[in-house]
Amino acid sequence: MYRKIYRILKSKPTLEGAGVHLKRAFGYNEVPGLDPFLLLDDFHSDNPADYIAGFPWHPHRGIETVTYMLEGMIEHGDSMGNKGVILPGDIQWMTAGSGIIHQEMPAGYNGHMWGFQLWVNLPSMYKMMEPRYREVKKEHIPEVAIGRIVVVRIISGEFKNIKGPVRDIVVEPEYFDITMAPGAEFEHTIKKGYRVFAYVIEGEGYFEPDKEKLIGIEHLVIFQDGDKVKITSGDKSLRFLLVSGKPIDEPVAWAGPVVMNTQEELDIAFEEYRNGTFIKRR
Ligand code: FE2
C-alpha cells in the first residue's frame, strides 16, 4: 500500500542562534507529529547578514544533530577538542548523548549558504550515551542513478542494495537526497510504522500516486503509514530530502538545545551547565 500524504507544511522564517535568519520546516510546535524527528532547519541565503552571526558556544544533550551542506560551509569546534569544516556535499551526524558543548559558524562561498540541520531524538536509554561524531565527506556518500533521470544520494539507509555511510543510529534512519528529471518516478519501500517525511528543495512534484497535489520548494510533506512511497516529478525537475525513522513514543521535555523525557532531567542539565559538570568525562 502506497503511503498517502498526512500533512503539508510550509517552512517558516525563524530567528535562531546569535541572529541567524533561517527557515524552519518543523520544530517544537509539531512535536510529536514527526517522532523520532524533532526539528528541520533550512539555511538558504545569498546574504551573509542572514547567517554570519552563527551559533556560538551552546550545549546539546539527549539528541543527535545532523548537518548537511549544499553550499558554503560551517566551521565547528567542540568541548571534546574536535574542530573541522563541513563543506558542500558533506554530512556531520553528531550524537550529543550525555552532552557536548560546541559552536557552529557558517561561512558563505561568494555569499552563498545552503544547508540543513535535522534533530533526531534519542530514546531514554540512549539519552546519556557517550557523545560521538560521524563526519562523512562528499566523496564517501554513494549516489545511485536510475537511468540518469533519478539520482539518490544515500547518507543513511539503503537503496538498491547500496548502504549509506551513516550506520548504527538508534532510530534506524534513512536519509536520502533525491534529484529527479522532469516526469520521472521514484518508489521506495519503508518499514511500516516508521515515520516518513520529504522536504522539497528544488522544483516541484507529486508525493502521492494519484498526482493531485503539486508540491513546491520549502514545503514539508509528512506521510501517513503504509509500505512505500511513490513520488513523481512534474514538468520541472525535483529535488527533495527523504527521511524516515522509527518512532520513539516517549514523553518529550524540550528546552532549547536539550531534549529529555522529563522537566527534572532538563533542570539537571541546565544546573550542570551552570556549575560546569555538564560534560561527562569517561
Ligand atoms: Fe548545535
Distance CA 28, CA 16 (A): 13
Which band of pLDDT confidence, cut at 50, 70 and 90, is reported for residue 253? very high
Which band of pLDDT confidence, cut at 50, 70 and 90, is reported for residue 137? very high
Instruction: Assign 181 to helix, strand or coil.
Output: coil
Per-residue pLDDT, 171: 97
Residue 257 alpha carbon to ligand 1 centre in Å:
7
**What is the average per-residue pLDDT within 240-265?**
98
Residue 160 alpha carbon to ligand 1 centre in Å:
33
Q: What proportion of the chain, given as a percentage, has pLDDT over 70?
A: 100
Q: For residue range 29-48, what is the model confidence (pLDDT) as tens digits?
A: 999 999 999 999 999 999 99
Residue 90 alpha carbon to ligand 1 centre in Å:
17
Q: What is the DSSP letter of 76?
A: E
CATH fold, domain 5-263, is: Jelly Rolls (2.60.120)
Q: For residue range 208-249, what is the model confidence (pLDDT) as tens digits?
A: 999 999 999 999 999 999 999 999 999 999 999 999 999 999
Q: For residue range 60-107, what is the model confidence (pLDDT) as tens digits?
A: 999 999 999 999 999 999 988 889 999 999 999 999 999 999 999 999
- Quote the mean pLDDT of the chain: 96
Per-residue pLDDT, 110: 87
Q: What proportion of the chain, given as a percentage, has pLDDT over 90?
A: 95
Residue 62 alpha carbon to ligand 1 centre in Å:
12
Q: Where are the domains positioned within the chain?
A: 5-263
**What is the average per-residue pLDDT within 150-169?**
97
**What is the average per-residue pLDDT within 9-37?**
96
Residue 192 alpha carbon to ligand 1 centre in Å:
31
Q: Residue 179 phi/psi, 5° resolution?
A: -115, 130
Residue 214 alpha carbon to ligand 1 centre in Å:
34
pLDDT reading at 282 higher than 70: no
Residue 171 alpha carbon to ligand 1 centre in Å:
20
Residue 174 alpha carbon to ligand 1 centre in Å:
21
Residue 108 alpha carbon to ligand 1 centre in Å:
18
DSSP 206-272: E-STT---EEETTEEEEE-SSSEEEEEEEEEEEEEEEEEE----S--EEETTEEESSHHHHHHHHHH
Per-residue pLDDT, 133: 87
Q: Which residues contact 5 (CB under 8 A, 6 or more apart)?
A: 207, 208, 213, 221, 222, 223, 224
Residue 133 alpha carbon to ligand 1 centre in Å:
13
Residue 122 alpha carbon to ligand 1 centre in Å:
16
Per-residue pLDDT, 281: 76
